[in-house]
Amino acid sequence: MRWAIALHGGAGDIPHSLPPDRRLPREAGLRHCLDVGIAALKAHKHPLDVVELVVRELENYPHFNAGKGSVLTSSGTVEMEASIMDGKSKKCGAVSGLSTVVNAVSLARLVMEKTPHIYLGFHGAEAFAREQGVETADPSYFITPENIERLKQAQDANRVQIDYTQPVQKEEKDAAATIPNGDSQIGTVGCVAVDSEGNLASATSTGGLVNKMAGRIGDSPIIGAGTYANHLCAVSATGKGEAMIRGTVARDVAAVMEFKGLSLKEAAAYVIDQVPPGNAGLVAVSSTGEIATVFNTTGMFRACASEDGYSEVAIWDSPLK
Amino acid sequence: MGAWAIAVHGGAGVDPNLPKERQEEAKRLLTRCLDIGISALRSNLSAIDVVELVVRELETDPLFNSGRGSALTENGKVEMEASIMDGPKRRCGAVSGLTTVKNPVSLARLVMEKSPHSYLAFSGAEEFAKKQGVEMVDNEYFITEDNVGMLKLAKEANSILFDYRIPAVGTCGASAAMDSPLQMNGLPISVYAPETVGCVVVDKQGRCAAATSTGGLMNKMSGRIGDSPLIGSGTYASELCGVSCTGEGEAIIRSTLAREVSAVMEYKRLKLHEAVDYVIKNKLDEGKAGLIAVSKDGEVACGFNTTGMFRGCATEDGFMEVGVW
């Protein structure tokens, strides 16, 4: 058994023509977060600590759709959500509707460890955050100019965008068609990890869909949809929340391994295949240190590494060196 | 054409000392709801319409823990949640944190059918409700004297009352302590506590649907979300079956209980009864819960590892049963 880690910064319609000023900071972010995770695993930190640490880093990075840099609701506000799960105990925590908490994933962990509940949302979650003394910031801290622009584009096009989509050209009426463009959308973040004892954990965090209705909850905080971990594997999913909820994507990877006897990679591919094209991606690790990163979108910002020295940072199908 | 089947529940985990007249009251309500559902099925309403209709009835009646008669938060208010799922295309809708919407299950259906999303909560959900013109009432409407009393007891005991009860210490002694769920303070509850409600239906066309509705845990933190609105945990429906769960929210979420029944039918090819037994036996660990389920072939099943579950079921061939134990 060996340790392994995989993380993502969102799946979606990421154009191959993504300009360097959009691509390089994200690649750097993925590399940095991967290094943080690897160091933690080498220092024998428990996977639950590792995924929380890595997702905190991803949340703090303004180029990904979580924490700072979260996409905006139709009212121009930020509503963040996250969940975390420990594979061995299947203990889990989740939060939704946060507007001032700097690290949603850490609050999700506190819900798991400091309350008799699993999931807190909105004003109740914010009140709990204050009780726990976690770091909070003015709502404006989370808002970036890029996201103000994305909201405007979505509202002009009068549609809700998934994690990562192209801005719609004025003449483009079909929302499903894709046109390469200089700008880019950004995605949910997540991390899965397994240590050399086979302990597994998963965490996912997001600002949700651009132009979403206030109060909309996606798949990221829903155990079984965006996040899942048990004794077999840990999964973090990204893409169109509604599709992941109805398909219980994260849970199904483990279910298919258990009930159909598929390997991690086969199970991940099987499950993503069931979701309509262009809607989903996931990262997963198994108890024996295997890694799977699968998506049916144009691309998925991701990075992974395992104890045997393998490491990869990638956006489309071929890894970037 | 296939045969229809329907099941309803009013919560898993019943105090063995529950007064007889309360048991009878519960059975009368379950019977009435079954009759409403059966009537609708005979009029060829679709499964999704029937589950909504029946759960509305359960929400409106103050007996169980949903809509009127919901458990109270630590602040003495009501925060309701619900979810609904339509098997054929796995469409789903869910709501949480409702304080003025008279029928949460109907708002969940509107989320599914009239919004681009699957799940809306708190003030966003209430805004949506206003725009949809659903019936809204003051929070006081949902609060019953019984529950005000229960909240006081819960606070005195400084514990959380789940929507099922463990046997009183007097009757079961040590085994009651052992049966106590890990996260509880292990206090026996000898007073009637309200229960989550749900309904599952398969219609003559073999379409399955499921819906679950609740006020949640007595004395819960404001903002607490349980299993009932979570697709895959409290509610699930696919081309093969419809499932609604009740019991310890944490256990149901960790085991993604509703999804599990459908998953073993899909991936292990188990039939409905085998699937329900398998899941209750193997997937709950130390958790306490119950569920009702129907299959596309007109079967109905229920399973629980608690002491009792308020439930009723009926099939087209005339079978009908209402039970507590």
B35-87 tens-digit pLDDT: 999 999 999 999 999 999 999 999 999 999 999 999 999 999 999 999 999 99
**In chain A, where do the E strands start and end?**
4-12, 80-86, 92-98, 119-121, 189-194, 200-206, 227-229, 233-239, 280-286, 291-295, 299-306, 311-314, 319-320
Amino acid occupying residue B110 = L
- Whether A179 is in a domain gets the answer no
- Whether A172 is in a domain gets the answer no
Amino acid occupying residue A166 = Q
Residue A218 assigned as binding residue: yes
Query: Chain B partners of A91 at a C-beta cutoff of 8 Å?
Result: 254
> How, if at all, do strands A119-121 and B224-225 pair?
antiparallel
Q: How far is CA B45 from the centre of its chain?
A: 22
d(CA A129, nearest CA chain B) in Å: 12
Query: Chain B partners of A255 at a C-beta cutoff of 8 Å?
Result: 259-260, 263, 267
Which residues is B237 bridged to in the sheet? B242
Of B91, B119, B222, the CB nearest to A124: B222
d(CA B211, nearest CA chain A) in Å: 14
Of A90, A117, A214, the CB nearest to B221: A117
- pLDDT of res. A179: 26
- Whether B129 is in a domain gets the answer yes
Residue B10 assigned as binding residue: no
d(CA A76, nearest CA chain B) in Å: 14
- Whether A177 is in a domain gets the answer no
Residue B168 scores a pLDDT above 60:
no
Tell me the three-class secondary structure of chain B, residue by residue. CCCCEEEEEEEECCCCCCCHHHHHHHHHHHHHHHHHHHHHHHCCCCHHHHHHHHHHHHHHCCCCCCCCCCCCECCCCCCEEEEEEECCCCEEEEEEEECCECCHHHHHHHHHHHCCCCEEEHHHHHHHHHHHCCCECCHHHHCCHHHHHHHHHHHHHCCCECCCCCCCHHHHCHHHHHHCCCCCCCCCCCCCCCCCEEEEEECCCCCEEEEEEECCCECECCCEECCCCCECCCEEECCCEEEEEEECHHHHHHCCHHHHHHHHHHHCCCCHHHHHHHHHHHCCCCCCEEEEEEECCCCEEEEECCCCEEEEEEECCCCEEEECC
Determine if residue A198 is left, alpha or beta; phi over 0 gives left, psi from -120 to 50 gives alpha, anything else beta: left
Instruction: Give dist(CA A195, CA A193) in Å, integer.
Output: 7
Query: Chain A partners of B236 at a C-beta cutoff of 8 Å?
Result: 248
Task: Catalytic residue, from B73, B100, B144, B196: name it.
Answer: B196
- From A282, A274, A269, select the one nearest A239 (Cα to Cα): A282
In this structure, what CATH number is given to the domain that contains residue A142? 3.60.20.30
Amino acid occupying residue A223 = I
Q: How far is CA A36 from the centre of its chain?
A: 17
Q: Determine the 3-state secondary structure of A144 from DSSP.
A: coil
- Whether A175 is in a domain gets the answer no
Average pLDDT, chain B: 89
Residue B298 in contact with residue B315, Cβ under 8 Å? yes
Stated pTM of the model: 0.92
Of B92, B121, B236, the CB nearest to A96: B121
Helices B47-60 & B20-42 angle (0-180, nearest 10): 150
Instruction: Give dist(CA A85, CA A52) in Å, integer.
Output: 10
- pLDDT of res. B285: 83
Amino acid occupying residue A202 = S
- pLDDT of res. B153: 84
- From B49, B214, B53, B212, select the one nearest B147 (Cα to Cα): B214
Q: Determine the 3-state secondary structure of A299 from DSSP.
A: strand
Query: Chain A partners of B116 at a C-beta cutoff of 8 Å?
Result: 160, 213, 242
Per-residue pLDDT of chain A (321 residues; tens, 9 = 90+): 899 999 999 999 899 998 999 899 999 999 999 999 999 999 999 999 999 999 999 999 999 999 999 999 999 999 999 999 999 999 999 999 999 999 999 999 999 999 988 999 999 999 999 999 999 999 999 999 999 999 999 998 876 665 455 554 333 333 333 322 323 344 799 999 999 999 999 999 999 999 999 999 999 999 999 999 999 999 999 998 999 999 999 999 999 999 999 999 999 999 999 999 999 999 999 999 999 999 999 999 999 999 999 999 999 986 554
- From B120, B134, B215, B67, select the one nearest A212 (Cα to Cα): B120
- pLDDT of res. B1: 62
The answer to whether residue A188 is catalytic is: yes
Q: Determine the 3-state secondary structure of A151 from DSSP.
A: helix
Task: Catalytic residue, from A188, A293, A297, A298: name it.
Answer: A188
- From A202, A244, A82, A98, select the one nearest B231 (Cα to Cα): A244
- pLDDT of res. B166: 43
Residue A183 assigned as binding residue: no
**Of chain A residues 42-61, which have a CB less than 8 A from chain B?**
none
pLDDT per residue over B243-267, tens digit each?
999 998 989 999 999 999 999 999 9
Query: What phi and psi, each to the nearest 5 degrees, are found at residue A119?
Result: -140, 125
H-helix or E-strand spanning residue A53: helix A47-60
Structure confidence at residue B178 as a pLDDT band (50, 70, 90): very low
Chain B CB within 8 Å of residue A218 CB: yes
Q: What is the mean pLDDT of residues B216-222?
A: 90
Query: Do the chains contact at A245 and B223, CB–CB below 8 Å?
Result: no
Residue A216 assigned as binding residue: yes
Give me the number of domains chain A comprises.
Answer: 1
Query: Chain A partners of B160 at a C-beta cutoff of 8 Å?
Result: 116
- pLDDT of res. A186: 47
Query: Do the chains contact at A118 and B255, CB–CB below 8 Å?
Result: no
Chain B CB within 8 Å of residue A94 CB: yes
Query: Chain B partners of A214 at a C-beta cutoff of 8 Å?
Result: 123-124, 127
- From A48, A42, A44, select the one nearest A307 (Cα to Cα): A42
Instruction: Give dist(CA A303, CA A33) in Å, integer.
Output: 8
- Whether B218 is in a domain gets the answer yes
- pLDDT of res. B158: 65
pLDDT per residue over B198-217, tens digit each?
999 999 999 999 999 999 98
- From B105, B285, B112, B305, select the one nearest B211 (Cα to Cα): B105
Chain B CB within 8 Å of residue A208 CB: no
Query: Do the chains contact at A242 and B285, CB–CB below 8 Å?
Result: no
- Whether A173 is in a domain gets the answer no
Query: Do the chains contact at A251 and B256, CB–CB below 8 Å?
Result: yes
The range of the structural domain enclosing residue A305 comes to 4-167+184-314
Residue B229, token pair as written in the block: 């609105």
d(CA B180, nearest CA chain A) in Å: 14
Query: Do the chains contact at A255 and B260, CB–CB below 8 Å?
Result: yes
Q: What is the DSSP letter of A231?
A: S
Nearest residue on chain A to B161, judged by CA atoms? A116
d(CA A66, nearest CA chain B) in Å: 19
∠ CA(A78), CA(A81), CA(A82), 5° rounding?
A: 150
- Whether B10 is in a domain gets the answer yes
The range of the structural domain enclosing residue B255 comes to 5-142+190-317
Residue B247 assigned as binding residue: yes
Give me the number of domains chain B comprises.
Answer: 1
d(CA A163, nearest CA chain B) in Å: 14
Instruction: Give dist(CA A190, CA A59) in Å, integer.
Output: 9
- pLDDT of res. A159: 64
Instruction: Give dist(CA A111, CA A174) in Å, integer.
Output: 42
Instruction: Give dist(CA A163, CA A151) in Å, integer.
Output: 12
- Whether B40 is in a domain gets the answer yes
CA distances from A47 to A51, A113, B41, B190 (A): 6, 15, 50, 42
Of A92, A124, A212, the CB nearest to B223: A124
Structure confidence at residue B164 as a pLDDT band (50, 70, 90): very low
Q: What is the mean pLDDT of residues B213-232?
A: 95
Instruction: Give dist(CA A266, CA B234) in Å, integer.
Output: 28
Query: Do the chains contact at B117 and A121, CB–CB below 8 Å?
Result: no
- Whether A56 is in a domain gets the answer yes
CA distances from A103 to A57, B85, B147, B264 (A): 9, 32, 36, 36
Query: Do the chains contact at A128 and B236, CB–CB below 8 Å?
Result: no
- Whether B30 is in a domain gets the answer yes
Query: Chain A partners of B91 at a C-beta cutoff of 8 Å?
Result: 246
Amino acid occupying residue A72 = L
Structure confidence at residue B161 as a pLDDT band (50, 70, 90): low
- From A127, A92, A89, A132, select the one nearest A109 (Cα to Cα): A92
Which residues is A314 bridged to in the sheet? A302, A319
Of A160, A223, A247, the CB nearest to B256: A223
Q: What is the DSSP letter of A277?
A: T
Q: Determine the 3-state secondary structure of A240 from DSSP.
A: coil
Query: Do the chains contact at A248 and B249, CB–CB below 8 Å?
Result: no
Residue B187 scores a pLDDT above 50:
no
Which residues is A305 bridged to in the sheet? A5, A311
**In A136-199, where do the E strands start and end?**
189-194
Query: Do the chains contact at B263 and A128, CB–CB below 8 Å?
Result: no
Burial, A62: exposed, middle or buried (Cβ in 10 Å; 0-12, 13-18, 19+)?
buried
Chain B CB within 8 Å of residue A210 CB: no
Query: Do the chains contact at B267 and A128, CB–CB below 8 Å?
Result: no
d(CA B230, nearest CA chain A) in Å: 7
Query: Do the chains contact at A223 and B123, CB–CB below 8 Å?
Result: no
- Whether B175 is in a domain gets the answer no
In this structure, what CATH number is given to the domain that contains residue B266? 3.60.20.30
Which residues is A83 bridged to in the sheet? A94, A204
